[in-house]
A and B are shown apart, each in its own frame.
Chain A
Amino acid sequence: MPLSLSVGGGKGGTGKSFFALNLGIALSESGKNVILCDLDLAGGANLHTFLGIPYPEKTLEDFLLSKSPLESLLLPTYVKGLKLIPGALSNLSDKLKYFEKTRLQRSLNLLRTDYLIVDLGAGISPFILDLFLWAQKKIVVITPEATTLENVYRFLRGAYFRYIRKGANERVRRLIDEFFMDHNFSLKKPQELLNRLRVFDEAFVHRFVASLKEFDLNVVLNQVKRPEERELGPSFKMVCYKYFGIMPKYLGYIPFDIKVSFSINRGRPFLIEYPYAEVAQCMREIASRVISGKEMVLT
């Protein structure tokens, strides 16, 4: 089974696809086999564009609607060791059923490769949240703007509540659903839910909280324009710990660089076009941290 990484986090424009792609490239440069899977199902699939492939013949749509095996969709790229499963070109979000997701997860697990990077695109639907949670390493991409941070927090809240519901028995699930229907809880903090559940099933809460230590959440701070903004990486870590009880690993930051948009328009990935730019160096450092499981520490 490959090591699966999901890249998610709310709204568009934070650089999830850019990050997913260049992480894949950096990992293959280290000699690993990587499959990049474009799971943006709301019509925003772009990974093939980044790679200069204008019209992929077969896409994930063929897997989801025509039952083509995932292996048949693998496209080689001009980066050795990196293959792409192009995303569906139309909006499929309302056509998918629950069992499709389990079939997808099963097929993804069977792919033969070292790393499997799944780009989830924008959104916060249960389908996306489940796929985010399915991966071993869950990565969110944030930028220094208040709006993207808000969206990532909301995304993580959705993921958290989805996660706790998954592991619960029917009785606890009913309690969780009741909690959400209670109009007094306006901001609906995880803490409040846990306190409520503790009264009914302390063992469950204890187990759940222990399981959060294995959650393997990772954060990347993208499009940093000023040195002060780098603090937002460690800051995000602490906020996550305080609010969710999850301590993410800070994988690193990537500076803003106008050349990113140039490379996109050329259909050439950034790491290939500008291998000596600071962005490229940061990406490689992040890739090595993904491999080693360590995180970035600010001195």
Chain B
Amino acid sequence: MYEGNSLKGNQWKGDGIDLEDPYEILGISENASELEIEEAFQRLMKALDPSNPGIWALWTPEELNQLREKVQRAFSELMQRKPLCDKESFSFFKKRTLSRETLELIKAKKGLGGEALKDIREHLNLSLEEVSSFLKITKKTLIALENEDFNNLPPWVYLKGFLRAYAKLLGIEEEEEEELLKSFEERYQKFRSRT
């Protein structure tokens, strides 16, 4: 036995309600290592076993099977990613930044939003998989981000964090980063007020 901080218990993201994010389904933070992901998966599968004492007070065996399937899918999704990048790759990423002109061009075209992020990413020859694996954000969320598909994006408090991380990765500087966040938030609030 050794002492440790809660298995990301107080740091897990999301609001705990049925979202589709695999980290949330497994109850781990986005910084979880592969080992932690696997441990969480195994613990959950064992915990949701219909033969566990007392568990029928909470779920029927059918509901438990559904939950287990969901956990399995979440685990597969996380394991399909490329291995996490190390420090070397980070400096490799850092070397690629957009020239001022190109950035202005992109900004002029459609303003600073999801589309701009996609454009910049493509200009830098970064694939969605690379970005996803480096930022530890699922590909699905990245696509939703670039398409401003708010239905598939988490609440603003988390979305903000993703945007900042993504902006940093793409070499977007502070002033533009704030602009990006502001315009994103405007459209996010508009979406929220409609639903």
Chain A residues proximal to chain B, CB less than 8 Å? 144-150, 152-154, 187, 189, 191, 194-195, 198, 205-206, 209-210, 212-213, 231-232, 234-239, 241-243, 245, 247-249, 285, 289, 292, 294-299
Contacts and interface: CB of A to CB of B under 8 A. Distances in A.
Given A245-B15, A296-B3, A297-B1, 4 more contacts: A146-B54, A195-B17, A238-B46, A299-B2
Contact of B6 (A189, A239, A294): A294
Interface stretch (B55-63, B164-172, B177-185): B55-63
Interface string B151-170: 00001000000000000000
Nearest to B4: A297
Contacts of A231: 46
Nearest to B58: A243
A194 B46 CA distance: 26
Interface string B17-50: 1100000000100000000000000011011100
A232 B47 CA distance: 8
12 contacts: A191-B18, A238-B43, A239-B48, A239-B58, A242-B27, A242-B44, A247-B6, A294-B3, A294-B4, A294-B5, A295-B4, A298-B1
B43 A153 contact: no
Given A206-B15, A238-B27, A294-B4, A232 B57 contact: no
B6 A213 contact: no
B12 interface: yes
Interface of B: 1-7, 9-10, 12, 15-18, 27, 43-44, 46-48, 52-60, 67, 155
B67 to A, nearest CB: 7
Interface SS, A side: helix
Contacts of A198: 17
Given A150-B54, A296-B1, A239 B27 contact: no
Given A243-B58, A299-B2, A191 B17 contact: yes
B9 A249 contact: yes
Contacts of B1: 285, 296-299
B29 to A, nearest CB: 11
A210 B10 CA distance: 11
Contacts of A236: 47
Contact of A289 (B3, B16, B18): B3
A236 B7 CA distance: 14
Contacts of B16: 209, 212, 241, 245
A153 B27 contact: no
Contact of B53 (A146, A194, A292): A146
Contacts of A213: 10
B6 A154 contact: no
Contacts of A195: 17-18
Given A191-B17, A247-B12, A235 B4 contact: no
B48 A238 contact: yes
What 3 A-B pairs are tightest by C-beta distance, nearest first? A149-B54, A245-B16, A146-B53
Contacts of A194: 17
A153 B55 CA distance: 8
Contacts of A238: 27, 43-44, 46-48
B54 A153 contact: yes
Contacts of A239: 47-48, 52, 55, 58
A119 B59 CA distance: 29
A187 B58 contact: yes
Contacts of B58: 153, 187, 189, 239, 243
Contacts of A206: 15, 155
Contacts of B53: 144-146, 149-150, 232
B52 to A, nearest CB: 6
Contacts of B60: 187
Contacts of B52: 232, 235, 239
A211 B187 CA distance: 27
Contact of A292 (B3, B55, B59, B155): B3
A243 B9 contact: no
Contacts of B27: 238, 241-242, 247
Nearest to B53: A146
A298 B22 CA distance: 23
